[in-house]
């Protein structure tokens, strides 16, 4: 045992020095290097996205409740050493100089916000701060405008340095209005709560006596990890809390309720998962190709060792030790390199991946390092074991004889004849999938991807074989290619196929990442063009509609128009009570327990009065409730019931800032019911005063301001876009490295042959020509297959994951064909260049198999 170990180490040293292991070692370093650096980057970007979301929310976890929560909940949070802050939100009247205004009062504890920026403007300078001090009140811009506070302070400012803060009455106490709220984290929770807001310190609340038993108050509790708590604490607390929630209490974290941000970040997250899978696959290719080649070489050596009396068990043990040593060394160097690259990128791009407070210090993540190590070791060992397992089957001499057949049989013989090898390949593949799931932390996308990918890969392998045969046939018939090249191709059909499979795999991965990245970024850029609506107006009455439209027009405010809205509750599906009709899993769905916003299509008029109203329903809702085209839906609107047939299932882009509806009727039915109108428009920050005029003219309407959130979203998306770009570039780089190493490796087995051919008098021109033809065929075939593979995978991904529209990408086809030709022919010719520059004799001794 120990002897064997030392023997293995001796062999390892020897082979390492002789350079036999260098390709395998290099591939391991590249594979684990890209795996870990991409992993670190992804983790970092992920953290960054979460951190931005937390800053938006003001904390990592938010509990909203319509009643005060039991004290022991908060004690529990204490015991987890979490940071806490509180906010109580309720509507109340503010009084200034006998002027009454309704406001939404936010009473916050001293340490609000836990995360993110509470930005307040005081005397013309804005600053970032915590909760207002006792006795002070901060008003949002609109309230400040209403009370003319800004102007007053402005005038006073110009008159004297002394500023007299206006006094504002709230309930039974008076507050000094000292600041104007510019940005308040946690806004998102009050997305649809309406009146302009004012903020006071929570400890002043009792004095105002505005909150009486029975008052409508929202209690909002913020929780974040503290310096002393572990990152797991918050999760534990969340789990603990989740089961205790009652009606009227919601728990959220990240960007759960911000659909626009959520959808974008979700996509970004999916992209990162995809990037991770591709990196794993690329790494696997690098390791597989090189360990295959190494196995081939070792095979012969081991056969000789068997003949020399070394037992098979011992040989396998020696190999294992050797590979383990190689794996550890390679992974260690790869991961270290990956970490250094990642750190280098961070230092260059710290602005980009700026995490803000709290986790800014964490630079190292364990997961990518572990995945790198285990992936490297596992793939190296399992793939090499698949080769080693062949040792068992033949007598020592048979082994030596068969040793050279091995290469040819890789695709056919070894896979089918060698049962244990087959099992090991299968194990490797399953292991790869599990590793990918670990790495991506996204089971769905991983499984989906591997499923689509392996199916199409098998089909395409057969395709490649078929096409190659056709090329050979046509080439012979019409003398398209030089005869020798043709023969060369024919003889090395399997080797060529192995190359084509490898290269097309790599290319398709690169195409996928390129296309998804490009379309994702385009998508985002289109999503928030300049003048994206940043204000919503609801509760516009029908009689006000004309005036409202006129007002917008006169004030040159850009709008998307007005949409009718009727509140109604979904009560039946195909004449069955809805609760019974939907799948069990959907019974708790919100849409069944509250009124939905229904709209109707002003342009779509039914042909005949008798016909049933038509309904267009949002896709994800339809999916959850299992509603299909042709289903009859019943709604209760007020006290009456209406019905309609589902004729359209619609994709709603929740990540656009547009009024969206789950259900849209054809016109002619719901107009008769009490209805209000909803609109959205764009207003620049300096024009916000117009909101007050608008409110004065239409006192009944409610304005929802999303401009701050929109800015935040745009900011996040810009960051994320940059990060995606970076990871994309990095993967491309890794891909090119791996492509070159595979080319090097697959060509290395054929160098000897080329040397022999040279001794027979093949001129360099001849040899060049026929290698060139081979490379061209490999390049074009790889490109062709890669394109089909990628288009198919992308089709599935867009449908299932990214919810983007799919269309073919002919420009990319052309591009990849050109790139493939350039890279494979170019690199290939560089790799084989040795054959042309060295003397034949030295080639022969160098490449003797």
Residues forming the site for other proteins (CB under 8 A): 400-405, 407-408, 483-484, 487, 491-492, 495, 752-753, 756-766, 836, 839-842, 844, 848-849
The pair of three-digit structure tokens given for residue 360, joined into one six-digit string: 């800014």
The pair of three-digit structure tokens given for residue 735, joined into one six-digit string: 């891909």
Q: Let me know: does 46 contact 209? Beta carbons within 8 Å.
A: no
Residue that has been written with the tokens 């062949």 in this structure: 390
Distance in angstroms (rounded) separating the CA atoms of residues 527 and 521: 10
In degrees, rounded to 5, the angle at the alpha carbon of residue 802 between the alpha carbons of residues 796 and 807 is: 60
**Min CB(494)–other proteins separation in Å:** 9
**Min CB(313)–other proteins separation in Å:** 26
Residue number, 470 or 764, with CB nearest to other proteins: 764
Residue number, 200 or 500, with CB nearest to other proteins: 500
Q: Using only C-alpha atoms, what is the Rg of the chain?
A: 34
Sequence-distant (6+) residues with CB within 8 A of 803 are 651
Give CA separation, 578 vs 572, 635, 661, in Å.
4, 10, 19
**Min CB(292)–other proteins separation in Å:** 15
**Min CB(395)–other proteins separation in Å:** 15
The residue among 181, 185, 170 whose CA lies nearest residue 56 is 185
Dihedral sign for Cα atoms in the order 612, 616, 621, 622: positive
Give CA separation, 588 vs 63, 575, 605, 654, in Å.
20, 20, 34, 21
Residue number, 278 or 843, with CB nearest to other proteins: 843
**Min CB(819)–other proteins separation in Å:** 30
Phi, psi of 173 (to 5 degrees): -125, 170
Q: How many CB atoms are closer than 10 A to CB 528?
A: 20
DSSP 3-state of 375? helix
Can the peptide bond before residue 586 be classed as cis, meaning omega within 30 degrees of 0?
no
**Min CB(342)–other proteins separation in Å:** 41
Residue number, 484 or 829, with CB nearest to other proteins: 484
Residue number, 607 or 848, with CB nearest to other proteins: 848
Sequence-distant (6+) residues with CB within 8 A of 766 are 484
Distance in angstroms (rounded) separating the CA atoms of residues 8 and 314: 10
Residue number, 216 or 765, with CB nearest to other proteins: 765
Residue number, 679 or 749, with CB nearest to other proteins: 749
Distance in angstroms (rounded) separating the CA atoms of residues 807 and 812: 12
Please provide the distance, in angstroms rounded to a whole number, between the alpha carbons at the two ends of the chain.
31
> How many helices (H) and strands (E) would you count in the chain?
27, 21
Distance in angstroms (rounded) separating the CA atoms of residues 284 and 31: 7
Residue number, 492 or 809, with CB nearest to other proteins: 492
**Min CB(465)–other proteins separation in Å:** 18
**Min CB(762)–other proteins separation in Å:** 5
Residue number, 74 or 762, with CB nearest to other proteins: 762
Distance in angstroms (rounded) separating the CA atoms of residues 103 and 198: 7
Residue number, 699 or 761, with CB nearest to other proteins: 761
**Min CB(746)–other proteins separation in Å:** 13
**Min CB(296)–other proteins separation in Å:** 11
Residue number, 404 or 553, with CB nearest to other proteins: 404
**Min CB(461)–other proteins separation in Å:** 20
Residue number, 395 or 404, with CB nearest to other proteins: 404
Residue number, 399 or 520, with CB nearest to other proteins: 399
In degrees, rounded to 5, the angle at the alpha carbon of residue 613 between the alpha carbons of residues 652 and 620 is: 25
**Min CB(464)–other proteins separation in Å:** 19
**Min CB(750)–other proteins separation in Å:** 8
Phi, psi of 319 (to 5 degrees): -60, -45
Residue number, 117 or 407, with CB nearest to other proteins: 407
Distance in angstroms (rounded) separating the CA atoms of residues 203 and 151: 30
Distance in angstroms (rounded) separating the CA atoms of residues 818 and 784: 11
Helix spans in 200-256 (H): 205-208, 231-242
- Residue 723, sorted as left (phi over 0), alpha (psi -120 to 50) or beta, turns out to be alpha
For 392, counting Cβ atoms within 10 Å of its Cβ (0-12 exposed, 13-18 middle, 19+ buried), the class is exposed
The pair of three-digit structure tokens given for residue 441, joined into one six-digit string: 């932390």
**Min CB(748)–other proteins separation in Å:** 13
Residue number, 183 or 402, with CB nearest to other proteins: 402
Residue that has been written with the tokens 């003398």 in this structure: 479
Residue number, 603 or 848, with CB nearest to other proteins: 848
**Min CB(772)–other proteins separation in Å:** 16
Helix axes 764-797, 810-820, angle to 10 degrees: 150
Residues in the chain, overall count: 849
Residue number, 488 or 676, with CB nearest to other proteins: 488
Q: Judging by DSSP bridges, how do beta strands 558-573 and 61-65 pair with one another? A: unpaired
Distance in angstroms (rounded) separating the CA atoms of residues 242 and 238: 6
Distance in angstroms (rounded) separating the CA atoms of residues 202 and 105: 10
Q: Let me know: does 581 contact 590? Beta carbons within 8 Å.
A: no
**Min CB(264)–other proteins separation in Å:** 53
Q: Judging by DSSP bridges, how do beta strands 702-705 and 676-682 pair with one another? A: unpaired
């Amino acid at each position: 045992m120990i002897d064997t170990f030392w023997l293995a180490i001796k062999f390892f040293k020897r082979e390492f020095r002789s350079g036999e292991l260098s390709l395998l070692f290099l591939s391991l370093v590249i594979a684990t290097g890209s795996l870990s650096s991409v992993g670190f980057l992804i983790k970092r970007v992920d953290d960054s996205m979460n951190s931005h979301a937390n800053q938006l929310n003001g904390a990592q976890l938010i509990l909203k409740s319509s009643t005060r929560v039991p004290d022991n909940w908060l004690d529990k949070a204490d015991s987890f050493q979490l940071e806490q802050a509180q906010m109580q939100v309720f509507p109340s009247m503010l009084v200034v100089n006998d002027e009454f205004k309704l406001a939404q009062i936010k009473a916050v504890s001293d340490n609000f916000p836990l995360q993110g920026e509470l930005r307040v403007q005081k005397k013309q300078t804005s600053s970032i701060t915590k909760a207002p001090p006792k006795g002070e009140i901060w008003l949002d811009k609109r309230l400040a405008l209403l009370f003319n506070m800004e102007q007053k302070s402005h005038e006073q400012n110009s008159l004297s340095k002394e500023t007299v803060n206006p006094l504002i009455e709230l309930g039974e106490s008076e507050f000094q209005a000292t600041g104007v709220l510019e940005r308040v984290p946690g806004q998102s929770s009050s997305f649809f709560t309406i009146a302009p807001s004012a903020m006071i310190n929570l400890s002043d609340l009792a004095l105002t006596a505005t909150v009486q038993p029975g008052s409508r108050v929202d209690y909002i509790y913020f929780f974040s990890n503290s310096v002393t708590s572990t990152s797991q604490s918050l999760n534990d607390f969340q789990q603990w809390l989740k089961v205790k929630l009652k009606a009227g209490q919601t728990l959220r974290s990240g960007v759960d309720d911000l659909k626009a941000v959520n959808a974008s970040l979700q996509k970004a997250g999916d992209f990162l998962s995809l990037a991770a899978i591709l990196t794993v696959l690329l790494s696997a290719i690098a390791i597989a190709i090189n360990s295959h080649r190494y196995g081939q070489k070792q095979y012969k050596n081991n056969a000789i060792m068997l003949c020399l009396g070394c037992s098979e068990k011992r040989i396998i043990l020696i190999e294992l030790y050797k590979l383990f040593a190689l794996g550890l060394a390679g992974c260690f160097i790869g991961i270290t390199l990956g970490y250094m690259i990642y750190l280098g990128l961070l230092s260059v791009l710290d602005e980009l991946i700026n995490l803000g407070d709290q986790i800014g210090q964490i630079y190292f993540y364990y997961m990518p390092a572990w995945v790198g190590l285990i992936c490297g070791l596992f793939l190296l060992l399992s793939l090499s074991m698949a080769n080693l397992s062949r040792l068992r089957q033949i007598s020592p001499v048979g082994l030596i004889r068969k040793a050279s057949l091995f290469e040819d049989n890789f695709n056919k013989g070894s896979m089918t004849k060698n049962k244990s090898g087959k099992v090991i390949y299968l194990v490797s593949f399953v292991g790869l999938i599990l590793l990918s799931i670990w790495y991506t932390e996204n089971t769905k996308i991983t499984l989906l991807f591997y499923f689509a990918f392996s199916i199409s890969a098998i089909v395409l392998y057969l395709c490649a074989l078929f096409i190659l045969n056709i090329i050979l046939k046509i080439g012979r018939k019409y003398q398209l290619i030089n005869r020798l090249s043709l023969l060369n191709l024919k003889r090395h059909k399997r080797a060529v196929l192995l190359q084509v499979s490898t290269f097309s795999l790599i290319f398709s991965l690169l195409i996928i990442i390129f296309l998804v990245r490009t379309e994702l970024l385009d998508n985002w850029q289109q999503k928030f063009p300049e003048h994206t609506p940043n204000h919503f107006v609801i509760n516009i009455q029908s009689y006000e509609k004309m005036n409202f439209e006129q007002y917008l027009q006169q004030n040159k405010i850009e709008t998307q128009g007005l949409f009718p809205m009727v509140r109604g509750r979904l009560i039946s599906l195909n004449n069955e009570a809805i609760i019974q009709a939907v799948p069990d899993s959907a019974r708790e769905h919100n849409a069944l327990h509250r009124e939905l916003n229904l709209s109707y299509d002003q342009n779509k008029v039914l042909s005949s009065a008798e016909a049933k109203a038509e309904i267009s329903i949002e896709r994800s809702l339809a999916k959850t409730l299992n509603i299909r085209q042709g289903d009859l839906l019943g709604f209760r609107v007020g006290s009456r019931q209406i019905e309609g047939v589902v004729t359209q299932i619609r994709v709603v882009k929740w990540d656009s800032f547009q009024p969206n509806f789950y259900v849209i009727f054809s016109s002619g039915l719901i107009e008769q019911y009490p209805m209000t109108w909803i609109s959205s428009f764009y207003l620049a920050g300096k024009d916000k005063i117009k909101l007050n005029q608008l409110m004065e003219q239409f006192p009944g309407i409610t304005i929802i301001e999303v401009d701050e959130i929109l800015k935040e979203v745009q900011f996040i998306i810009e960051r994320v876009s940059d990060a995606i770009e970076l990871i994309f570039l990095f993967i491309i780089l890794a891909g090119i490295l791996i492509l070159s190493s595979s080319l090097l490796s697959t060509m290395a087995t054929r160098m000897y042959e080329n040397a022999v051919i040279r001794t027979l008098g093949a001129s360099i021109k001849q040899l060049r020509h026929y290698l060139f033809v081979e490379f061209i065929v490999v390049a074009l075939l790889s490109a062709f297959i890669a394109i089909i593979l990628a288009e198919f995978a992308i089709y599935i991904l867009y449908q299932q994951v990214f919810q983007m529209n799919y269309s073919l990408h002919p420009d990319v086809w052309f591009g990849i064909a050109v790139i493939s030709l350039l890279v494979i022919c170019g690199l290939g010719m560089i790799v084989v260049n040795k054959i042309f520059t060295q003397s034949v004799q030295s080639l022969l001794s160098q490449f003797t198999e």
